[in-house]
Amino acid sequence: MKLMDLNIRAPGRVVLFGEHQDYLGLPVIPAAIDLYMTVYGKKHENPYYKIDLPDLKKKEQFSSFNIQYLGDRDRDYLRAGVKVLQEENVVPQNKGVVATITSEIPIQAGLSSSSALNVVWIQFLARLFGAELDPLSLTKLAHKAEVLEFQEPGGMQDHMVISHGYLNYEEFDPIKCTRLRENLPGIVIGNSKDKKDTLNTLRTIKEAVNTGLTYLGKSNVKQLKEGDITELNNSYSSLDSFSINALKAAFTNYNITQFAYNEFLKVDIDQLKIGDLLSKHHESLRDFLDVSTPKIEKLIRAATDAGALGCKITGSGNGGCMIAYCPGNEIKVKKAIELNGGEAHIAHVVPGVGRNKIVG
């Protein structure tokens, strides 16, 4: 048996349109990008898992029998992936794995490092033990391991785009993934290097939207009309201001996403329109949800001055990354972001985990 029997990698992702929408059951337009998390290793006859995480300077080891999550760690994703696949009879209890996990995706930066870990770990284990998961099955299992197992507030947009790859229009009622583009030149990522608190941000916004919907007697955001937003503007009710703003953001961002979807359906997209929609999306996230930061705003101003057609924060916000859409001006925008204290990456849209080939 060779030292490395299997090598699987998963891309990170950016969200162009539909930020803070998937966990509300609303459509999103994300893209898989060329920053990768990689797992390599082999199975063995002993019933334990031994995992090296050199980027974190950590090692994990646990039995494959009667998997229990550690009490002081809510997001025990490595154990969760094994447990979920054991429940699906994909991974046996009497075998183990030795593996190493490395990553180019920055942690707590809005590029979905946690979902990339769940997706690549699930796919690695499944293939190692002889199963082949289609992208949708992989999406659902990774979502279960990351979100459902720990009762987290997030949706499955990240798992879906990381599994399927490319630039997609994702729907969740019913679940459907429609490919819009296999490439989209002109995306530059700017990392503010400020860490974010994903779970608390998602939970707070989700609760606020649901509070607003209950107040209006609606069951979902798709039922909202312009008149409902006008009613909120003119209301002196007991509804708190953040719930009002969260509902306005959901309504606004849903409509922006639909405009962008219709544009991406065209053979030749209007780059200026896409840029303008990105900027409008960011304004909604910033002004209604208050998820931007002074550093993000500084990077956006620098990118815009350097020729970006539009910019927005990506991820849950309150830190992390912004993206600039700047076809033809990528190098200039990258330099502007770096000169203003950010880490920059010219991103390329890539295939997902479900299209990786076995190495070794």
Span 116-170, pLDDT tens digits: 999 999 999 999 999 999 999 999 999 999 999 988 877 899 999 999 999 999 9
pLDDT attached to residue 300: 98
Q: For the chain, list the domains and their CATH numbers.
A: 6-183 (3.30.230.10), 187-347 (3.30.70.890)
pLDDT attached to residue 235: 66
- pLDDT by residue (tens digit) across 219-250? 888 888 888 887 777 765 678 888 889 999 99
Nearest to 100 by CA among 42, 145, 47, 141: 42
User: Are the C-beta atoms of 258 and 290 separated by less than 8 Å?
Assistant: no
User: Are the C-beta atoms of 311 and 323 separated by less than 8 Å?
Assistant: yes
Question: Which of 63-67, 103-107, 165-169 ranks highest by mean pLDDT?
Answer: 165-169
pLDDT attached to residue 217: 87
pLDDT band at 265 (very low <50, low <70, confident <90, very high): very high
User: Are the C-beta atoms of 342 and 190 separated by less than 8 Å?
Assistant: yes
Question: In sequence order, what DSSP letters do the residues of 75-130 get, joined into one string?
Answer: --HHHHHHHHHHHTTSS-TT-EEEEEEEESSPTTSSS-HHHHHHHHHHHHHHHHTT
Dist CA 283 CA 187 (whole Å): 19
Query: Going by DSSP bridges, is the β-strand pair 310-314/321-325 parallel, antiparallel, or unpaired?
Result: antiparallel
Dist CA 112 CA 150 (whole Å): 17
pLDDT at 320 > cutoff 70: yes
pLDDT attached to residue 2: 46
CA angle 146, 156, 281 (to 5 degrees): 125
User: Are the C-beta atoms of 349 and 31 separated by less than 8 Å?
Assistant: yes
pTM of the shown model: 0.92
Q: Which two tokens stand for residue 92?
A: 């046996």
